[in-house]
Amino acid sequence: MTCALLYPQNLFYPLKSLRALDFVDKVFVFEFFDTSTYLQKFFPELQEKIGYISLRADEKLKLRDLPNILTNLQLFGEYIRTPENLSYYYLYQDLFEETFSIKIRERDSSEEIKRAFLILLLAENLDANLLEVEKALISFEEKWENFFQRNILFEDQFYENLAIKEWVSGPENLWNLKRRVDALKRIIPLFCWENVSFLDTLLITEAELIWEMKEEALILSETELSKGIYLLKTNKSLNKNLGLPEEENFPKFVQILAVF
């Protein structure tokens, strides 16, 4: 096993996903509008280990207005946080949606694609914010420990490991997993798969998703690579679970690199 597709997220959040990098040469991720920027910001040392699966050029052109819609959605969300503004929104919903340019007008399959993409863009943005918080907490704890190691010559009875992350961070799992998976199923055929048709392994950190796939496919073997990391080999393709066609120019996913 040399390569794997990170699924369904496209950033290394939760951070436990990084533990799988010891067992692959390259991890591929879906490239949205800001994905590479986020990954370069948070994981500059991993760039050689990351590969990108991009949207087809024609599809990217159709979705070029989505970053602007996403920005307006975020501004709109900030605006309606107060009860007063929220009540105004319910009274003048169409006017608000026109003002903030967040209304998707098409009433066909293109609307579904845009809505699915917006869900995934919002999820990516959320993961990026959570990564920012988590990395800041880790950095603070390290500085706290280094301060005492450098400045305290003797054992200090008042020193206490802050363990901030334990009581500030939430559980290490993806928010709105089902909505992410459903949205990704809708758009996954729109990516360029020709150059990555050799992929056969999914890197998954979500136990719920792993159990669902195990129920639908017979597990031929289950190998523990390290504590909490397993390689599962299935008896059939998992493409149907992903919304990916069973065609020659698409990968055939038959393995799961599970990180618990």
Residues 137-148: tens digit of each pLDDT: 877 777 767 766
Indicate the pTM of the whole model. Answer: 0.84
For 111, residues 6+ apart whose C-beta sits below 8 A from its C-beta are: 104, 105
Please report whether residue 66 resides in a domain: no
Pick the more confident residue, 73 or 231.
231
The amino acid at residue 122 is L
Question: Sheet harboring 255-259: ordered strands across?
Answer: 50-53, 26-30, 3-6, 201-204, 255-259, 229-234, 219-226
Nearest to 71 by CA among 107, 100, 44: 100
* Torsion sign over Cα 157, 162, 167, 168: positive
User: Taking residues 26-47, what's their average pLDDT?
Assistant: 97
Q: For 81, list phi and psi in degrees, rounded to 5.
A: -70, -25
Please report whether residue 153 resides in a domain: yes
Please report whether residue 84 resides in a domain: no
Please report whether residue 154 resides in a domain: yes
What b/e sequence results for 175-185 when a residue is b if at least 16 CB atoms lie within 10 Å of its CB, and e otherwise?
Answer: eeeeebbebbb
Please report whether residue 140 resides in a domain: yes
Q: What is the number of structural domains in the chain?
A: 1
pLDDT at 62 over 90: no
Tell me, what DSSP letter sits at residue 56? P
Q: For 256, list phi and psi in degrees, rounded to 5.
A: -125, 125
User: Taking residues 162-172, what's their average pLDDT?
Assistant: 56
Give the span between the Cα atoms of 142 and 163, in whole angstroms.
10
Please report whether residue 42 resides in a domain: yes
Please report whether residue 60 resides in a domain: no
Please report whether residue 142 resides in a domain: yes
Predicted confidence at residue 200, as pLDDT, reads: 96
Domain housing 7 = 3-54+104-259
